[in-house]
Each structure stands twice: as structure tokens, then as C-alpha cells.
Amino acid sequence: MRRRRDDGAVTTRTEPRTLEPRRAHRARAIADAEAPLTRGTDRYMEAAAHALALAAAEELRLARGTVRGARVLLLVGGGHNGGDALLAGARLTARGCRVTALMATEHPHETALERARTARVETTAVGEEDASERAAAALATGTDLVLDGLTGIGAAGPLRPTAAALVEPLIAAGERGERPFRVLAVDLPSGTGADDGALPGPVLAADRTVTFTCPRGAHLLPPAARRCGLLDVVDLGLPAPAGEPLVERPADADLGARLRVPGDADHKYTRGVVGLLAGSESYPGAAVLATTAAIRAGAGMARVLAPRRVVDLVLASRPEAVPAAGRSQCLVVGPGTAPTEDPDAPEAARTAELRDAVAGVLDDPAPAVVDAGALPLLPGLLGDGRRCAAVHVLTPHAGEAASLLTALGEETNRAGVDAAPGAAARALASLTGATVVLKGTPTLVARPGRGPADADGTAGAPRDEPGDGPRTADADGAAPDAPLLSLDAGPGWLATAGSGDVLAGTLGALLAAARADEENGLRPLDPAAVAALAVRLHAEAGRLASERTGAAPAGGPVAALDVAEALPAAWRLLHDRACYGAD
């Protein structure tokens, strides 16, 4: 904003941002940014209640066609979230709803409680002994909508006993889409970790969550993100935190801007050449899928480095593939391979090729994708000065991530990674020096940082060796590293054999193209952004493929090759979103 001073000079002042719908900040940072404006006033609580009531009305129309006559249950805790729920309930009574509030606190927000009672909201205080019974009785009357205002971003750990008892019959009523009521969460589903997205205890999954100013970690980090449903980020006029976020969700329009339409002067090397050391006697189809994906994602050339039988299969479906080594701008190592330590095993020779290839990756600053069977070879090759670079992208799922972390000195298992995937992704990036794509719902991308992660996914000080043990975050609790990227990974139909091979080939093609653009002075290579683009391209291809076999939004079954063949349409879609600003 430009302002004229009394002396006639013009000064420039940056107004604080009041809406950041794609950047999740720490709960403490959010509270600190809001405190100067919210202290001593209920103005912003009224605005929040207004947004909640509007969202509740939309949910009721969706569920039953009308708002009037609906039965609404408020779950009320202490603090502002409980107050927001009570004030929203008061507004809903004015629209003809019958509203009941079950209060799991001895200290509800006094002003909000008075307003709710004045509006004829039926309020009942519950304790651990009768909370479950009261909630079950409310359901028996035919509840249409539940407003979850039990806890807010300041809470930590699992729900307290009374709140846990209150949600127990609601959780038992069934999953989203199966239960007879809809759930609207205030700020975040109660019991989720605001910063780390953890689920330390029972959580009532929401159909929709209304939060304010910016997301919290719970909205973008699994496993909590999967409990939030549709997310609304509402502008209350409060300032967003000024520091680096914990997590970001890049817009498709921004990612799609990295897709370049080739011009008259382009050739295969300016479009990007990808090499694929993929496939084996045991898993030959993976090479077909990865190669097809690389070509359909826009590679100027795909080189296939595989056993003769695998090469023949690839050429039968992709005759433009080149079965020879040579110059490439990105190497994809590992899809469809299963390394063995048995020198007499059929895969022994392929294992030796894989190990040499991974060692070559570590000695070369060129982009590479390390996937599937190549991942377990990595820990044994790190050390003695060897370390991945940021242009080396690892693509583990939770089980592979757990094995890698354990091999690198951070003992864990798949359940541990599933419980804290943000921390696992950061730790892997820190321990290896690579960019990490941790596959899941949502998928996370971590840039290499200064040190291993603590429990909430923030990173600490550097360390010398993988076995030194975990370090904690900086003393002030701030995350010193770049934020995690959280990405919609597409429909559940993508959970099919070969889908990861398609993602690896897609990522290889995009990295090769990005390196070519960098070589030609067009744009610096940002491995994390390219990885995020690959995830979204793969996700949209999966959605498009599923919509060919079943009606949207549910879609229908897909095979991995269907996803690969849908990549050009997904490419056009993301490119158009960049051109026209859609998302």
C-alpha cells in the first residue's frame, strides 16, 4: 500500500496478510499473531460463528435439502472453539433448527453460553460418567449435524476422558458417508495434533472443517488430514504469522507453470532425456509402465537399461524407446527390481547393476530418481563422504521409509512412519541429503534440511553420522528448514500394482525436462517443486482415468497403464490451470 506523508513524500507499507489458505503455520505462531487484536474483544468470535453457521447451513441442505427443522448437536469444550460452536448454534436456532449443546467443560465461554441459552439452545453439562449416554441419546433423536468444538489449536495430546466419552458413540455410528449425520469441525477435528497431524487418541472424523486465516499442520499432514474432510479457510481480518510455514500445499496453477510447451527450436535433448534402469526377470512389466509414463509425460527420449527380455517387452509397446546407454538428464533407478544378497540367485547380476547405478548417482550431481528396489541399497553406500544431493529424489512408501530409517540408525517400523509421516519424511531428507517423496494420502515432499526431525516434523541441528541419534528442534521451537509440501495424491483407485512405477517414470521425465531448461538458462531446477508437480500430474491422470471407467466423483477401477496413458490429458489440464489461473 502506498501512502503520502505530511511532507509530500510517498512511503510504501506492506499490509499484513489476513488469508493464507495454502500455508500451515504453528499453533503458537498463529496465536501470537492474533493476540494483539483478539485480546479483550469477542468481535472475531462473532465473525467465526457467522462463518460456521453458514457452513452448517450448507451441510444441512446437502444432507436433508433444507435447514429449517434440522436437529443440531454441539460438542462444546472450554475456550474459543467451544464459544464459536455455541454462538453458531444460536444463529442456527434463528433459522429454525433445534440445537442441543453437550458441554464437556466446567468453564464454557460465559458470553457465548449466555447468548446460546437466550436463543433457546438446550445446554447440558456432562461428565465422564454420563457423556457417552447423553451423546447416544442425542443421536437416537435423529441428529442431522454435529458441530465439534471440543478442543482448539492450543490443546495437546489425546482428548480428556469426558470429551473422549462424548465422541465414542458418534465414532461408533460409522464412517463418513455411512453414518446418519454429518460432522462440522471448528478449527480442526478435536483430538488431532494441531502442528504435527498426529492422532494420539480417538478422533471424530469431520465431513467439513472450518478454520481461520491459514491452515494448521493437522489440515495438511497425515494422518490427521484424512480426518478433516472438506477444508474451508475463512478470512476474519486477523494477520497471518510472518515466519516460514510448517507445511505448504502448492497450487496446481503454480506447479503447472513449470510445464513448457516445446518450440520450433527444441529437440529431444532440450525437452529432456531420461534413462530408466527398471524391470527385472521377476517384474518385467514395471519397465513398460515407467517407460510409458516417461514418454507420455513429455520426455524427449527414454533410454531403457534392462535385461533383454524386459527390453523386448518395452519395445513391443513403446517402439520409440531406446535400448542403449547414453547421455541422459535424469536417471530413474529401481522400479520393478528386487535386490538379493545371494550370489547364485537369478537377480544377482541385476542387483550388481543396481548397486553400481546407485553408487554412480551418489558420485554425480545430475538428477536421479531412486525408487523401489534401489532404495534398500542406499544406506550401505552412504557415508565416507558420500551423500545424496537435493536433485536426487527418493520415492518410498511408508514401509520402505521405515526400512530406510532403520538402516540409517533411526529405529522405527511402518506403524511409526504412518503415525508421523511428516517427521519421517524430514528425517529421511536430512539423513540422506536427498529430496524425499513419501507416498501416501496426502503425499509429502521434504527438502534436505539441517538435521533429523523431531516428533512434529520440524528439524534440528546438523549431525555428523546417521547413528548419532535424534536431535530436537531449535530452542525457540521454530522450524529451521523449508516447509514440507503436502499434495493431493489422487483417488483411491491409484492404490494399484504398478502405480508407483508410473509415478517414477513421470518424475524422471519432469526432472529431465527441468534439467534441460536449466542447462538452457530458462529456469533453475527446484527438485522439490518438480517432485510436487509429478505427484499432481500422476494424481490428475489417475482421476481422469478413473472417470473413464466410472462416473465422477467416485470414478471406477483403473490399471496402472490406464494412468500412464492419461498423462497427456493431465499435462494439458495442469498447463491450462497455469495459463488461466484456475486451480
Q: Is 190 annotated as a binding residue?
A: yes
Q: Is 268 annotated as a binding residue?
A: no
Give the integer Cα–Cα distance in Å for 551 and 77: 41
Give the integer Cα–Cα distance in Å for 290 and 307: 15
String of b and e for 111-139 (b: at least 16 CB within 10 Å)?
A: ebbebbeebebbbebbeeebbbebbeebb
Q: Is 195 annotated as a binding residue?
A: no
Q: Is 397 annotated as a binding residue?
A: yes
Q: Is 298 annotated as a binding residue?
A: no
Letter for the amino acid at 123?
T
**Distances in whole angstroms, Cα of residue 296 to Cα of each of 84, 348, 500:** 50, 32, 15
Letter for the amino acid at 503?
L
Q: Is 83 annotated as a binding residue?
A: yes
Q: Is 440 annotated as a binding residue?
A: yes
User: How does DSSP assign 131-142, residue by residue?
Assistant: HHHHHHHHHHTT
- Other CB atoms within 10 A of residue 557 CB: 11
Q: Is 568 annotated as a binding residue?
A: no
Residue in the structure block whose three cell numbers are 541385476: 350
Q: List CB contacts of 33: < 8 A, sequence separation 6 or more.
A: 213, 238, 239, 240, 241, 242
Q: Is 158 annotated as a binding residue?
A: yes
Q: Is 156 annotated as a binding residue?
A: yes
Give the integer Cα–Cα distance in Å for 381 and 355: 8
Q: Is 490 annotated as a binding residue?
A: no
Q: Is 254 annotated as a binding residue?
A: no
Q: Is 479 annotated as a binding residue?
A: no
String of b and e for 256-287 (b: at least 16 CB within 10 Å)?
A: bbbbbeeeeeeeebbbbbbbbbbbbeebbbbb
Q: Is 264 annotated as a binding residue?
A: no
CA proximity to 498, closest of 454, 538, 551, 532 = 538
Letter for the amino acid at 321?
A
Q: Is 442 annotated as a binding residue?
A: yes
Q: Is 78 annotated as a binding residue?
A: no
Q: Is 198 annotated as a binding residue?
A: no
Strands 2-4 and 10-12: antiparallel
Strands 368-370 and 392-394: parallel
Q: How far is CA 369 from the centre of its chain?
A: 20
Q: Is 38 annotated as a binding residue?
A: no
How many Cα atoms sit within 13 Å of 299 on the Cβ side? 35
Q: Is 217 annotated as a binding residue?
A: no
Q: Is 286 annotated as a binding residue?
A: yes
Q: Is 155 annotated as a binding residue?
A: yes
- Other CB atoms within 10 A of residue 326 CB: 10
Report the binding-site residues: 80-84, 148, 152-158, 187, 190, 286, 336, 397, 439-443, 500-501
What residue numbers does the annotated binding site for (6S)-NADPHX cover? 80-84, 152-158, 187, 286, 336, 397, 501
- Binding-site residues for K(+), please? 81, 148, 190
Binding-site positions for AMP read 439-443, 500
